[in-house]
Structure 1
Amino acid sequence: MIVRLIVFIAIFFIAWWLYRKFITFKGGQSPTKSEKAKSSKKEEAQESMVRCTECQTFTPRSHAIHDQEARPFCSAEHLKDFNKKSD
């Protein structure tokens, strides 16, 4: 009776170990949904940079101020300075 119990427990643990190995092998082959979501969020978080026409420093495109000709500026002061020089 005890021998059967020990054999049953051994078979159970071997099956459990094989199942865990299969799951880790299967998970390593293709990225999971959470990894795909992380990589897409990372790509969305990256933003292009533009160079200020006045001082030549880089500014994120969303923070830049553009004039009528779509030239980027890092601040309103630089836009004013550039307009004064142009006139």
Structure 2
Amino acid sequence: MKYLLVLFVLLVAFWIWRNNRLDRQPPTQHAQRPGTGGQLQAMVACTHCQTHVPDSEAVRDTHGRPYCCPEHLRQARATPR
């Protein structure tokens, strides 16, 4: 019975310590790129690999098709259609 009481006290102490520790932590903020101002951005799919990238970071060809990087734009230009 004595061991159950000690275990109970330890569990309550751990629970109190954990709740106090979580309350004191500052809220986490998502990393934001400079210049976005925390605004939501439209996502577009790369024409080559279908990876989604923010519209402002997409590389576009002369027809306006989005690519995730200059390398995929180069590969698309090299591929005959």
What TM-score results when the alignment is normalised by the length of structure 2?
0.51
* Whole-Å separation in 2 of the counterparts to 1:56 and 1:71: 12
Specify every segment of 5 or more residues in structure 1 that has no aligned partner in the other structure, as ranges.
1-43
Cα RMSD, aligned residues only:
1.4
Percent identity between the two aligned chains: 39
Could you tell me which residue of structure 2 aligns to residue 47 of structure 1? 41
Is 1:69 equivalent to 2:41 in the alignment?
no
**Gaps (5+ residues) in structure 2?**
1-37
Which of 1 and 2 has greater Rg? 1
Shift of residue 86 of structure 1? 2.9
Paired AA for residue 79 in structure 2: K
Distance 2:61 2:46 in 1: 11
Higher helix share: 1
- Return the alpha-carbon distance in structure 2 between the equivalents of residues 86 and 62 of structure 1: 27
1:86 partner SS = coil
Letter of the aligned partner of 2:51 in structure 1? T
* Residue-pair matches, total: 44
Q: Structure 1 residue runs of 4+, over 6 Å off?
A: none
What is the TM-score when the length of structure 1 is the normalising length? 0.48
- In the alignment, residue 86 of structure 1 is paired with which amino acid? P
